[in-house]
A and B are shown apart, each in its own frame.
Chain A
Amino acid sequence: MRFSRTSKALGVAAIIALAATGCGGGGGSNTNSSAATDPNKVISAYSNEPQNPLLPANTNEVYGGRVVELLFEGLRAYDSDGKPVNALAESIETTDSQNWTIKVKPGAKFTNGEAITAKTFVDSWNFAALSTNLQNNGFFFESIEGYADVSAVTETTSADGKKTSTPAPTAQTMSGLAATDDQTITVKLAQPEADWSLRLGYSAFYPLPSEALKDPKKFGENPIGNGPYKFEKEGAWVHDQSISLVKNADYTGPRAAKNGGVTFKFYTDPGPAYTDLQADNLDITDVVPSNALKTYTTDFPDRNSTRPNANNATLNIPGYNPNFQGEAGLLRRQALSHAINREEITKVIFNGTRTPATEFTAPVLDGYNDAIPGSDVLKFDAQKAKDLWAQAEKIKPYDGSKPLLIASNTDGGNKEWIDAVANGFKNNLGIQAEIQPFAKFAEVLDLRKSQSLPGLTRAGWQGDYPSLYNFLGPVWATNASSNYEKYSNPEFDKLLKEGLAAKTPEDANKKFNEAQEILFKDLPGLPLWYRATPIVWSNNVVSAETGWNGGIRYFDIEAK
């Protein structure tokens, strides 16, 4: 009795909901193309509370990052395709990829009137790199000579064997960094790096006014920058609610604001933001909730965009797993890769917001090559997968006493595709495979850091700056910061190094792609797909797009 009432009630509710969505579908489109734009209109955008005070070198999460990027301007900026263009830099020159001379444009100022000179950059970078300042992005300066001294730590081991590292810099400034006059920065890198200047548009390299260095925490509450926007007023960051930015009228760089300001409204969940957009109560979001992935193009006809960006997903196979070691292990890794139907999963589960991977970086990057020798292993081929697996069995039998587990947090909607991948393994290879679900990302990370994954794990990388190296070095180089599965191949490391030392970016990319051939031979992880970010906007917005890294280019938004 009670159940029938419940289902009836749910039925009624569903009918109301369907009717409600049904009548809203028609109206509202086609109105935005004809209207004139208002350059002073303030738009509202989906966001959430930043995790740190708004200091560029301390902000490494998206919600703080998007604000910092609008408040500050660096030596370079990235255009919508990810090509770096000079912003505050007049010129960036090097003859040997190791010694760089950067000329800063004269006359640049922070919004408080403080002049930006070569010394401003040197001080800001030294501040960010010094380990006692505990800046999250301090390691971005690792290529500069003298970084080892300012970032030095001492490790102590307590009685119960726990290691703690404490900052213990042996120098306060990096020896390779100097301001020779007001307009000139000289940088000496520890070793040649052809693509070093690509990263100068990243937020860690932004300049800071002198008051930021005196009291970073206080500054981070009411930051003063030099970017296309500034804080609307002191206290424009209302915690747990919003951050209000307005156009910086004095800005003259390449990212001039086409609207009057951006108000970031905080949502703990993307669902309500999506509803707000349907009622024009919010102007733009870059997080379409997973239950709306099938409908966002019809909910927002002509008001959506899905552009690929520098973000990939892989399935990592730890080298310490006995089933995947040696010659048989390699054959099995290849078999697993052939058993994943990337095409179908991206279409059916991700509704086209992912594209099948063809290598280990991302297609939007300069130097991307979709035909790297060895990349055939990414093609779905059930028969080949079976054959390879059978070959491996002849060398060394697979220990199938436990199912093959794929570790992942399940709070971010990963279960569906992992189930699909596991089913692929089951159907094509005849092995048991399933997700190893965790409530939180931290639990997976703990297992990865301590080298104790029982099976495979999902992994991913979002580019910090548009460079192939950024997708290879930090992830696959020996002992790299995010190389949790401890993959190591000296030949790969050598090619990366050669790439960095190359004279031109073209030569560098050639070496990086040669390094990728090694990855394809070793298959420490299986590239899965690249991400595209769907965004939708309200009737108040005329046009919007995402940049190379998937972030909305807020300054480019035209409103009415």
Chain B
Amino acid sequence: MVRFIFRRLLQVIPVFLGTTLLVYYMVFALPGDPIAALFGDRQPPQSVIDALRAQYNLDQPFWVQYGLFIKNLFTFNLGVDFTQQPIADSLARAFPVTAMLAIEALIIQAVFGIAFGVFAGLKKGKLFDSTVLVVSLLVIAVPTFVLGFVFQLVFGVQLGWAKPTVGANADWGNLILPAVVLGLVSFAYVLRLTRASVSENMNADYVRTATAKGLSRPRVVVAHILRNSLIPVVTYLGANLGGLMGGAIVTEGIFNVPGVGNKLFQAIARSEGPTIVAIVSVLVLVFVITNLLVDLLYAWLDPRIRYDQ
């Protein structure tokens, strides 16, 4: 078990170097001088531009730039972004907001997705099942930005149940609306995965045995059917959490959530290499850790799975 975790963590190093190198190069290869672009039609004296270029190492060849970035990264110095704010500070502001949003969305999709999925799976072919299937298909079919705008307009502007945007007041309550929008699409997938898995396991031998033993229906459903049906669902949710932490650029944009997605969007618009790579670096870590957690969950869900040969 420990060896397994250790081995997985070791894999982070090449993944980390590979992704940062790739992303850094892509930003480097973007056309246009990002410093000159900061000023628009009215350019400051060339000496100001040159000083800024030197500050961000933009006057250096690619390998020097990347090397300096990695060197600074290992001394926990992420540098400053194009607004002269320390990148570490802005990440420290953005990540908790996105984490809150992601967790809220994850809870919504997990709780409702699994609950509806189990009921639909148990009552396969009945009215409830068909309704749920149609509705979930609709949800999958509607793009997030449409859902976002409609929810914002209906619940935020017309009914006034929630503030239309989040802005500076990013707390659990204000994040519900974007979390619902963000969670809805995956909710439909979770529901469908759970339903398929449950309806398949319902006819398994061990379920018949458990029922024959005289176990109560709730116990059969929760301890035998559900637990065995969760493996694909957990895999999906785990991968999804990584994605959610990457910041939902569209959802965060619509609801003006000051999270990672918004930050990333702005950084890309400004060709701000260091910020983009810093965000991506953190995301790599998040992905690796959530995937590791998912793998560890497998053993708990299915004791037959072992990690050390």
Instruction: Give me the interface of A with B, judged by CB distance under 8 Å.
Output: 2, 5-6, 9-10, 12-13, 16-17, 20-21, 23-24, 49-53, 60-61, 131, 134-139, 151, 153, 162, 164-167, 217, 238-242, 265-269, 271-273, 275-276, 278-279, 281, 411, 438, 440-443, 445-446, 449, 459-462, 464, 474, 481-482
Residue B243 is within 8 A (CB to CB) of chain A in the complex: no
Q: How far is the CA of A2 from the CA of B149 in the complex (A)?
A: 22
Q: Of the candidates A21, A411, A446, A482, which one forms a contact with B153 in the assembled complex, judged by CB atoms under 8 Å apart?
A: A21
Does more than half of chain A's interface fall in helix, strand or loop, or is it mixed? mixed
The reply to whether B31 and A279 contact each other, CB–CB distance below 8 Å, is no
Which residue of A is nearest B44, CB measured? A136
Which residue of A is nearest B159, CB measured? A20
CB proximity of A264 to chain B, nearest CB, Å: 11
Q: How far is the CA of A503 from the CA of B156 in the complex (A)?
A: 59
The reply to whether A268 and B265 contact each other, CB–CB distance below 8 Å, is yes
Instruction: Give me the interface of B with A, judged by CB distance under 8 Å.
Output: 30-34, 36-48, 50-51, 54, 59, 82-85, 89-90, 93-94, 137-138, 141-142, 146-147, 149-150, 152-154, 156-158, 160, 163-165, 167-168, 253-256, 258, 262-263, 265-266, 269, 271
Q: How far is the CA of A10 from the CA of B141 in the complex (A)?
A: 8
The reply to whether B142 and A10 contact each other, CB–CB distance below 8 Å, is yes
The reply to whether A241 and B142 contact each other, CB–CB distance below 8 Å, is no
Q: How far is the CA of A167 from the CA of B49 in the complex (A)?
A: 11
The 9 nearest A-B residue pairs measured at CB: A442-B32, A442-B37, A241-B168, A443-B32, A136-B44, A272-B256, A279-B157, A165-B47, A9-B141
A sample of 8 cross-chain residue pairs with beta-carbon separation below 8 angstroms, ordered by A number, consists of A16-B154, A164-B50, A164-B59, A165-B50, A241-B258, A276-B165, A279-B156, A281-B156
Q: How far is the CA of A462 from the CA of B142 in the complex (A)?
A: 42
Q: How far is the CA of A238 from the CA of B94 in the complex (A)?
A: 12
With contact pairs A2-B141, A164-B59, A442-B34 given, residues A279 and B164 touching in the complex (Cβ less than 8 Å): yes
The reply to whether A445 and B33 contact each other, CB–CB distance below 8 Å, is yes
The reply to whether A240 and B263 contact each other, CB–CB distance below 8 Å, is yes
CB proximity of A444 to chain B, nearest CB, Å: 8
Q: In the complex, what residues of A have CB within 8 A of residue B141's CB?
A: 2, 5-6, 9
CB proximity of A163 to chain B, nearest CB, Å: 8
The reply to whether A139 and B45 contact each other, CB–CB distance below 8 Å, is yes
Q: How far is the CA of A278 from the CA of B82 in the complex (A)?
A: 33
Q: In the complex, what residues of B have CB within 8 A of residue A481's CB?
A: 42-43
Q: Of the candidates B32, B34, B89, B256, which one forms a contact with A239 in the assembled complex, judged by CB atoms under 8 Å apart?
A: B89
The reply to whether B44 and A275 contact each other, CB–CB distance below 8 Å, is no
With contact pairs A241-B258, A271-B254, A446-B31 given, residues A50 and B83 touching in the complex (Cβ less than 8 Å): yes
Q: How far is the CA of A9 from the CA of B38 in the complex (A)?
A: 41
Q: Indicate the member of A9, A139, A273, A461 with the most B CB atoms within 10 Å.
A: A9
The reply to whether A266 and B42 contact each other, CB–CB distance below 8 Å, is no
Q: How far is the CA of A443 from the CA of B30 in the complex (A)?
A: 9
The reply to whether B156 and A239 contact each other, CB–CB distance below 8 Å, is no
Q: How far is the CA of A292 from the CA of B110 in the complex (A)?
A: 37
CB proximity of A457 to chain B, nearest CB, Å: 11
Q: Of the candidates A61, A135, A153, A269, which one forms a contact with B40 in the assembled complex, judged by CB atoms under 8 Å apart?
A: A61
Which residue of B is nearest A63, CB measured? B83
Q: Of the candidates B39, B46, B154, which one forms a contact with A153 in the assembled complex, judged by CB atoms under 8 Å apart?
A: B46
Q: In the complex, what residues of B have CB within 8 A of residue A151's CB?
A: 45
With contact pairs A162-B59, A239-B89 given, residues A10 and B146 touching in the complex (Cβ less than 8 Å): yes
Which residue of A is nearest B55, CB measured? A134
CB proximity of B48 to chain A, nearest CB, Å: 5
Q: How far is the CA of A17 from the CA of B157 in the complex (A)?
A: 11
Q: How far is the CA of A459 from the CA of B254 in the complex (A)?
A: 30
With contact pairs A20-B157, A23-B158 given, residues A51 and B149 touching in the complex (Cβ less than 8 Å): no
The reply to whether B84 and A52 contact each other, CB–CB distance below 8 Å, is yes
